[in-house]
Amino acid sequence: MLNNAESQDSGDLWIDWLLKGRHSEKNMRYMRHSQAQVESYADRVLQQAKLQQNYTMVDVGAGEGLVSFKAIDQIGPTLRVILTDISQPLLRHAEKLANERGIASQCTFLQCSAHQLQAIASESVDVVITRAALAYVEDKQTSFQEFFRILKPGGRISLGEPVFRDDAIMASVMRTLMESQVAAAGSPDPFTRLTHIWRSSQFPDTQQKIAENALTNYTERDFVQWAMACGFKDIHMELHIDIKPSFIDWDTFLEISPHPYAQSLQAIMNEKFTAEERLLFEQVMKPIIESDSSTSNYRVAYLSAQK
Ligand SMILES: C[S@@+](CC[C@H](N)C(=O)[O-])C[C@H]1O[C@@H](n2cnc3c(N)ncnc32)[C@H](O)[C@@H]1O
C-alpha cells in the first residue's frame, strides 16, 4: 500500500493519479472545486516565493507544471524555471504543455528526486518552490539540504505541503475501536470493521507503521526543524486547516483516492468486501457522505525562508 512510497515505480502511477485519480471527471462541479482548491495552494506558495524579473526558480516535484506556468504567467519572459520530477512521463507532459503555451524556451526539465539535485549547481538559483511533492519524499531532511545548497545567498524557499498524519491517526483510531469491540464482545461491529478496512487500506493504522511511512512520519514542525538545521533564516510556518462543507456525491466519493499510493474506495470494496458487506457499507455510508453535515478536511503546511 504505502510503505516506502518513493521506491515504488512512480512513472505511470503519478501521471495516472495527477491527471485522473485525484478528481473525478464525471462530477464537473466537484472537479472545478478541487482544481480551484489546488490553484489556491499554488498561488499561496508563489506569493511567499517573492519572485522577481530575471530570477531562476526551481520547481521540485513540478508534476504537470502548474506552479511553474503560473510563475511564468506572473513574471513574464525573463523568468527561468527548472522543473524537476521523478516521473519522466509527467515531465514529458509538462514539456508538451510548455510548448503549447510558447514558453518552452524558459523551461528546463530535469528528472531527479527532490533529495538528489546534483545536476543543479551550488548557489545557482534564486528561488526553490515545492507544492505537494515533498510529502512523498522519503528523505525530506536531505531535500532541505539540497534546496539550501542550490540557492544563492539571499535566495528563498517556499513550500506548501499536505499533512497526512491526521488521516493516519483516524485509521489507527478505527483499529483501536475495532480491537476494543473484539475485547468486549468477541467480534467487531461489522460497520466498524469495514470502515477500518477502508481507512487502513489508504493510510497506516499503527504507531509503528505511521512512524515508518514517508507520507505520515512528519508534521509541519519537522519542516521548521529541517529548515533551521540547514541554516535558513527568516523561517515562517503557517499550518492551514480548513474543514469545509462537502458536496461530494457517493459515486465520486467511490472513485477518487487521497494520494497516488491509495486505492479508491470502489477498488477497496471490490477487492476486500463481500457483496453483502458492500451493500451494508453503502447503506450506512452513502447517506452520511451525501448529508448536509458532511465535510472535507484540508491540512496544508506552508513554509517560507531565506538563505
Ligand atoms: C501531487 S503532485 C504535485 C505536482 C505539482 N507540484 C503541483 O503543484 O501540481 C506530486 C508530484 O511530486 C512528484 N514526486 C513524487 N516523489 C518525488 C520525489 N521523490 N522527488 C521529486 N518529485 C517527486 C510526483 O511525480 C508528482 O509530480
- 152: CA distance to ligand 1 center in Å? 24
Q: 160: which 3 cell numbers?
A: 506548501
Q: Which fold has domain 5-163+219-246+295-306?
A: Rossmann fold (3.40.50)
Residues with CB under 6 A from ligand 1: 6, 10, 14, 18, 42, 61-63, 66-67, 85-87, 90, 113-114, 131-133, 136-137
- 117: CA distance to ligand 1 center in Å? 14
- 194: CA distance to ligand 1 center in Å? 31
Q: Give dist(CA 241, CA 299) in Å, integer.
A: 5
Domain ranges of the chain: 5-163+219-246+295-306, 165-207+252-289
Q: Which atom of ligand 1 is nearest to the CA of 90?
A: 27
Q: 25: which 3 cell numbers?
A: 471527471
DSSP strands (E only) in 74-150: 80-85, 107-111, 125-131
- Per-residue pLDDT for the chain (307 aa), expressed as one digit of tens each? 444 444 444 446 888 777 765 666 677 888 888 889 999 999 999 999 999 999 999 999 999 999 999 999 999 999 999 999 999 999 999 999 999 999 999 999 999 999 999 999 999 999 999 999 999 999 999 999 999 999 999 999 999 999 999 999 999 999 999 999 999 999 999 999 999 999 999 999 999 999 999 999 999 999 999 999 999 999 999 999 999 988 889 999 998 889 989 999 999 999 999 999 999 999 999 999 999 899 989 999 999 999 9
Which backbone phi and psi does 107 adopt, to 5 degrees?
-115, 140
Cβ–Cβ < 8 Å for 87, 62: no
Q: Is 153 exposed, middle or buried (0-12, 13-18, 19+ CB in 10 A)?
A: exposed
Q: Which atom of ligand 1 is nearest to the CA of 45?
A: 8
The best mutation among 8, 12, 13, 14 to test binding of ligand 1, ranked by most ligand atoms within 8 Å of the C-beta, falls on: 14
- Answering whether pTM is above 0.85, one says yes
Which backbone phi and psi does 24 adopt, to 5 degrees?
-80, 140
A 10 A CB-CB count for 127 gives 25
Q: Report the nearest-CA residue for atom 1 of ligand 1.
A: 132
- 112: CA distance to ligand 1 center in Å? 11
User: The dihedral of CA 131, 215, 255, 281: what is its sign?
Assistant: negative
Q: Which atom of ligand 1 is nearest to the CA of 63?
A: 27
The best mutation among 8, 17, 18 to test binding of ligand 1, ranked by most ligand atoms within 8 Å of the C-beta, falls on: 18
The best mutation among 15, 136, 213 to test binding of ligand 1, ranked by most ligand atoms within 8 Å of the C-beta, falls on: 136
Q: How many helices (H) and strands (E) does the chain have?
A: 12, 7
161, containing H or E segment: strand 151-162
Residue with cell 510558447: 102
- Strand order, beta sheet including 125-131: 107-111, 80-85, 56-60, 125-131, 151-162, 295-306, 233-245
- 284: CA distance to ligand 1 center in Å? 35
The best mutation among 34, 85, 91, 138 to test binding of ligand 1, ranked by most ligand atoms within 8 Å of the C-beta, falls on: 85
